[in-house]
């Protein structure tokens, strides 16, 4: 597998709100961004806001949660990377939260959950040799909450905004007895391209059995694969750098095959 780390790309961000009724505003100039990160830390780093943890500054910064924000970068791909790999996935380990992802102007996906990672195998068909553009639009979490008001809203025990449980987002961002209300947005975990051929491991579940009376431990490894292409795996266990066990089972033949090793 070949990985292209997009964290280190030249990211920038801006206020992308179409219309606003909030009084506090900044111009919509592109500003430098850091990934992983969030809009609050990027605004603070650029000198656009005061320290949100000082005094009552959090009250003056709640206009940020009402806005849409956009992150953008460009990166270069070689023709050999495109031609030598059957699959090229865009992988985002964490987007906070209401995000729409565009690759070279094509809408790739929309997300609504901060807590899970995302993988888009369709990325390759939108990639090209040379310069590529990745743009991620983050909608206001507060707007999402207001427009998803249902009669089945879960009980809220400590919610200063009302309806925070309607969104799959870190609940303490909405304020808690021990922390400020800073409802943020951004690319909060790693983002990258993964290029690969034939097959790849998606998960490996490891189960341990400690019932033996002689102090030995039995490990059961259960792999899952991405495609239907057959593949042969070799599992190697090392203890203090020394190989203590190695096994090569029969080829795994199916996507998602969970045959123990």
Distance CA 91, CA 210 (A): 36
pLDDT the model gives residue 28: 86
What's the mean pLDDT in 173-193?
95
Residue ranges of alpha helices (H) inside the chain are 39-45, 57-60, 79-83, 141-147
The percentage of residues in the chain with a pLDDT greater than 70, rounded to a whole number, is 90
Average pLDDT, the chain: 89
pLDDT the model gives residue 239: 87
2-196: CATH, from 2.60.40.10, 2.40.50.140, 1.10.390.10, 2.60.120.260: 2.60.120.260
What's the mean pLDDT in 130-142?
98
- Residue 219's pLDDT band (boundaries 50, 70, 90)? confident
Q: Looking up tokens 């949100």, which residue turns up?
A: 52
What's the mean pLDDT in 238-257?
77
Single pTM value for the model: 0.85
List 92's β-bridge partners, or say none: 118, 191
Query: Taking 60 as the threshold, does the pLDDT of residue 61 lie above it?
Result: yes
- Residue 162's pLDDT band (boundaries 50, 70, 90)? confident
What's the mean pLDDT in 113-139?
98
Please tell me the total number of residues recorded for the chain in this structure. 261
3-state DSSP assignment of residue 205: strand
For residues 178 and 8, the model is more confident at: 8
pLDDT the model gives residue 261: 58
- Residue 241's pLDDT band (boundaries 50, 70, 90)? very high
Q: Are the beta carbons of 134 and 88 closer than 8 angstroms?
A: no
C-alpha dihedral sign at 224, 124, 69, 47? positive
Q: Are the beta carbons of 7 and 191 closer than 8 angstroms?
A: yes
Q: For the chain, give every residue range classified as CATH 2.60.120.260.
A: 2-196
């Amino acid at each position: 597998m070949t990985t292209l780390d997009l964290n280190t790309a030249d990211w920038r961000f801006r206020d992308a709100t179409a219309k606003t009724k909030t009084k506090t505003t900044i111009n919509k100039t592109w500003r430098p961004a850091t990934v992983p990160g969030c809009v609050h830390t990027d605004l603070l780093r650029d000198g656009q806001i005061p320290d949100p943890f000082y005094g009552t500054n959090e009250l003056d910064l709640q206009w940020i949660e009402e806005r849409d924000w956009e992150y953008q970068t460009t990166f270069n791909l070689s023709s050999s990377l495109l031609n030598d790999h059957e699959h090229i996935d865009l992988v985002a380990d964490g987007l906070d939260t209401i995000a729409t992802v565009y690759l070279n102007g094509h809408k790739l996906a929309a997300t609504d959950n901060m807590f899970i990672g995302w993988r888009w195998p369709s990325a390759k068909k939108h990639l090209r040799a040379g310069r590529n553009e990745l743009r991620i639009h983050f909608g206001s979490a507060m707007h999402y909450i207001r427009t998803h008001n249902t009669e089945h809203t879960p009980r809220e025990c400590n919610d200063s905004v009302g309806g925070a449980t309607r969104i799959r987002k870190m609940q303490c961002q909405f304020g808690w007895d021990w922390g400020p209300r800073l409802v943020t947005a951004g690319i909060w975990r790693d983002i990258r391209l993964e290029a690969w051929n034939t097959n790849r491991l998606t998960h490996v579940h490891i189960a341990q059995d400690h019932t033996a009376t002689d102090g030995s431990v039995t490990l059961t490894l259960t792999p899952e694969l991405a495609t239907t292409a057959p593949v042969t795996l070799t599992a190697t266990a090392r203890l203090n750098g020394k190989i203590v066990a190695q096994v090569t089972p029969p080829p795994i033949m199916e996507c998602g095959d969970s045959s123990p090793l």
